[in-house]
């Protein structure tokens, strides 16, 4: 009896020890999972973390709001990972799984998802419209993957996205489309592309964006190429107190080919004077109170701590976002201050304005007049030099000093006829010029030809004998 009891006990012990392994193996084979027997269920929160899952085919209740599948071995997330629509699911954790594949229909059954953690996986690319069903997603964590390619439409349908974490990947470009698509939205808060392989930033596009967008872009710890354009970007952001620059000032470095990395703010570039405006007399200028947060209560102070604006010369627009000043006078130069408050957060902008003591239009006209005068002087000098140094060529009939100056028709004949010039015969010199005679026709032919070409309709008289000598 004792031996039989001992055998039954040993058999029972084996069954007890074997049961958890069988349960886990069922999960590994992708069979339906009863979350009540393996996962932790706390109301609408279900945690299946650290249970060695290799595949997901989960029979979850429809009221599930939070699903934790982190720290498993799930390599692929296919379209059939759940057999029902989970319209109440708002938060899903898939981090630390070694995930390498996402089906294009993986998120079709979770359209109300607001928080998705895909960090610490092995994803390499984000295809077009991969997150298309997630129109309500607000936070997407993709850091610590191997992402090197991002399709420009990957995030285009995510209209509610507020925070996108892409740090510690192999990305070679800043996904500017994310910022452009959300620059008009009120809720966007963060784009983190730090610690990637970005070498060049779209500096001009970033500078043109509003301060509250710039304040949310983190790009430190990238192998950026040094340039003064990059220095101006980081320096201005640092002077403005934008957290993306000031909080990581020591991590904003750059380098060139074969050069050791240096801090961007240590580059030998022209010092940046932030928020300096220049204007001219009679202009009307629009000053922008571009704060680090979008919705803030704003007020302006004029130079000399003046809070009452002159009538018809200063006007606050768009709830304090802009201050219109003008027509400007020299005494309008000075520092204009914008105070912004939003609860416990405050921001102050100082805009230095310099008004030059002349109108912009007059200055341009004076410059145009100066250029016109200079051009006229140059042309005059060229013409004078040409007159003095270029040797004139006389007509073929002129003889050296023998033509009578008092014949009225001579100049008229020479101006209306062009005859070939003989290079063989030369006349006598008269003064400093050398005259040449025609040798291809005789004097009679010349007389008839000139007679036919007489513009006053009369036959020419015979040429004097002295003028027909060769």
Mean pLDDT by 10 residues, the chain (470 residues): 52 48 43 67 90 81 93 92 90 96 92 97 93 95 97 91 96 92 76 96 89 91 92 87 87 80 87 72 77 74 74 68 78 78 70 74 61 86 82 56 47 43 43 42 45 45 45
The Cα 166–Cα 147 span in angstroms is 9
* Whole-number pLDDT of residue 466: 46
β strands within 236-363, DSSP E: 253-254, 262-263, 276-281, 285-288, 297-301, 314-317, 322-325, 334-342, 345-359
Q: Which CATH class is domain 276-356?
A: mainly beta
* Whole-number pLDDT of residue 273: 64
The burial class, CB within 10 Å (0-12 / 13-18 / 19+), for 278 is exposed
Reduced to 3 states (helix: H, G, I; strand: E, B; else coil), residue 380 is helix
Phi and psi torsions of 103, nearest 5°: -70, 150
Both structure tokens of 1: 């009896």
* Whole-number pLDDT of residue 202: 93
The Cα 50–Cα 58 span in angstroms is 15
The Cα 454–Cα 451 span in angstroms is 5
């Amino acid at each position: 009896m004792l031996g039989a009891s001992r055998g039954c006990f040993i058999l029972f012990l084996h069954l007890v020890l074997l049961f958890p392994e069988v349960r886990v193996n069922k999960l590994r084979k992708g069979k339906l999972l009863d979350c009540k027997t393996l996962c932790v269920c706390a109301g609408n929160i279900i945690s299946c973390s650290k249970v060695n899952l290799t595949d997901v085919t989960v029979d979850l209740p429809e009221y599930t709001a939070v699903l934790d599948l982190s720290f498993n071995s799930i390599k692929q997330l296919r379209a059939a990972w759940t057999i029902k629509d989970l319209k109440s699911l708002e938060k899903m954790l898939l981090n630390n799984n070694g995930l390498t594949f996402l089906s294009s229909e993986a998120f079709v059954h979770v359209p109300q998802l607001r928080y998705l953690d895909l960090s610490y996986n092995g994803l390499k690319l984000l295809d077009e419209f991969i997150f298309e069903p997630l129109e309500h997603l607000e936070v997407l964590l993709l850091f610590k993957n191997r992402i090197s390619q991002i399709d420009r439409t990957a995030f285009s349908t995510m209209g509610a996205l507020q925070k996108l974490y892409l740090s510690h990947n192999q990305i070679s470009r800043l996904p500017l489309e994310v910022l452009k698509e959300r620059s008009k939205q009120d809720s966007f808060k963060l784009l983190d592309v730090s610690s990637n392989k970005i070498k060049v930033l779209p500096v001009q596009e970033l500078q043109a964006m509003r301060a509250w967008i710039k304040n949310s872009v983190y790009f430190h710890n990238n192998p950026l190429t040094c340039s003064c354009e990059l220095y101006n970007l980081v320096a201005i952001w640092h002077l403005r107190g934008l957290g993306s620059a000031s909080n990581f000032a020591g991590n904003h470095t750059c380098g060139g080919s074969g050069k050791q990395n240096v801090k961007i703010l240590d580059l030998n570039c022209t010092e940046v004077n932030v928020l300096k405006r220049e204007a001219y007399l009679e202009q009307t200028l629009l000053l922008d109170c571009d704060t680090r947060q979008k919705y803030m209560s704003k007020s302006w102070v004029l130079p000399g701590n003046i809070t009452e604006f002159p009538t018809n010369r200063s006007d606050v627009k768009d709830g304090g976002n802009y201050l219109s000043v003008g027509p400007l006078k020299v005494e309008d130069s000075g520092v204009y201050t914008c105070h912004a408050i939003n609860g416990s957060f405050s921001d102050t902008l100082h805009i230095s304005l310099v008004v030059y003591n002349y109108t912009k239009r007059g200055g341009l006209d004076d410059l145009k007049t100066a250029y016109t005068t200079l051009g006229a002087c140059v042309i005059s000098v060229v013409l004078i030099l040409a007159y003095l140094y270029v040797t004139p060529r006389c007509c073929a009939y002129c003889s050296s000093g023998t033509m009578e100056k008092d014949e009225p028709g001579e100049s008229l004949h020479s101006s209306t006829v062009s005859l070939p010039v003989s290079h063989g015969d030369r006349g006598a010199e008269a003064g400093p010029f050398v005259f040449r005679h025609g040798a291809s026709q005789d004097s009679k032919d010349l007389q008839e030809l000139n007679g036919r070409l007489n513009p006053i309709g009369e036959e020419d008289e015979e040429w004097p004998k002295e003028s027909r000598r060769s």
